[in-house]
Amino acid sequence: MKLSFFRLSATSVIVAGLASSAAAQSDQKSILGAKTSDWTVEVVTDGLDYPWDLARSGKTIMLTEAAGNLVSIAGSAVIRYPVITSDPIAREGGGGLLGMALPDDFATTGVVYFYHTYRAASGLANKVIEARFDGSTVRETRVLLAGVPGHRLYNGGRIALGPDGNLYVTTGWTENPDLPQDRNSLAGKILRMTRDGQPPSDNPFRGSLVYSYGHRNPQGLAWNARGELFVAEHGQSARDEINRIQAGGNYGWPVVSGSQGREGMIAPYISSGNDTWAPSGVAFSGNELLVSALQSRALLVMDEASGALTEVFSSNERLRDIVVDRDAIYVITTNRSPRAEGPSRDRLLRLTRRS
C-alpha cells in the first residue's frame, strides 16, 4: 500500500510519545539555561481545535484533535481525517480522541494506535484501538482494550510504543479513591500491552496489563537513552510529579502525593511542591527531559542537579505536547481548559534556537 501524503521511508517515522530518535537527540545542544528570547518562533498553523498528541513524520506533522480528527500538516496544507470508530468518540470536557502511537512501519501499513473516550452503559469510558489509514480514510480495525474507566476530566490518555515494541498507556483515577491502588482496576495506572492488546509475559503482575499503579492523572511518557521510562503526572492542588517508572511500582496516589513518603510507595523523581505545572507531553532532547506545561504556560526542562523544572520558553499559552526534531522543537497548545466550553483556538509552533 502506498500512502498518498506520507512519501517517506519507514525508518524516518518518529514514534509518537517517544522522545525522539537517538540521532535527533545527539544533535541537540543543552537547553537548560535557555530563555524565551533565545528562540525563533514560527507559527506553523493557528487553525487547531484542542489538539492533544503530536508526531512528526518526514516533513509532515501529525496530531490528534479531541473532537475526533487525525490532522496532517505539510507545508501550508492542513488536512483533517475523521477517525471512524465502532463506538463514537465522546468529546466531553478533557475526553475525546487523545493519544496516538505510530509503529515504525506506518508508512507502508498505515497502522496507527489511538486512545479515545466513548460512552459505555456505565458512563464515560476509554478504549485503545488499532486503526488504519489508507490515504483518504482513518478507520478502526480492532479494539485492543475497552472499558478503561473514564471521567470528564481524568482520563490519562497518552499512548506510546516503547523501545521494547510494546504499547504503554496512561489512565486517570476518575476521582474514585479506591481505584488507583486496586491492581484489578485499569484506572490510575500505567498499562503495558503487546500490539495485540495482551499482557506481555514479563509484565510485573502475571496476566495483568498493569505496569505501575497509584497514579492520579499521568499524561506524559518518554524514554531516555538508557531505556528508563519517565512519566509526567498531574497532582491535586499542586504536587505535580515527574516519576521514573519501575515495573510493578506503587506511586502512592491517593494515599500519598508529592514528596510525601510511605514504605512500599515510590516518591516522585521531582515534585512541584506547592506550585502547579499541570505537565502534559514530555520528550527527551539529548539527556534533558522537556515538559510541556498547561498551568505554567511554558516549556520546562528538568534540572536534575537542583531537582526542579526550569522554564526555557513561554508564549503565554497552555502547552499540551512536544516533539523534538534535529533542528527544531514542535509544540501544540490547548488554550481552553477542559472545565470550560467553546472553541480552543490553538496553534502548532516550531521553535529553533538562535545562534
For residues 68 and 81, give the distance between their C-alpha atoms in angstroms, rounded to a whole number: 9
CA 269, 208, 94, 252 dihedral sign is negative
Q: Which residue has the cell 479506591?
A: 178
pLDDT digit string, tens, across residues 107-162: 788 999 999 999 999 999 999 999 999 989 999 999 999 999 999 999 999 999 99
The three-state secondary structure class of 292 is strand
Q: Would you write out the chain's pLDDT as a tens digit for each of its 355 residues?
A: 434 333 333 223 333 333 334 444 445 689 999 999 999 999 999 999 999 999 887 788 999 999 999 999 998 899 999 999 999 999 999 999 999 998 888 878 899 999 999 999 999 999 999 999 998 999 999 999 999 999 999 999 999 999 999 999 999 999 999 999 999 999 999 999 999 999 999 999 999 999 999 999 999 999 999 999 999 999 998 999 999 999 999 999 999 988 888 999 999 999 999 999 999 999 999 999 999 999 999 999 999 999 999 999 999 999 999 999 988 999 999 999 999 888 788 999 999 999 8
Q: What is the DSSP string of 245-267?
A: --TT-B--TTTS-TT--BTTBPP
Can you identify the CATH homologous superfamily of domain 10-353?
Answer: TolB, C-terminal domain (2.120.10.30)
The three-state secondary structure class of 10 is helix
Q: What is the DSSP string of 90-128?
A: ---TT-SEEEEE--TTHHHH-EEEEEEEEEETTEEEEEE
In single-letter form, the type of residue at position 288 comes to E
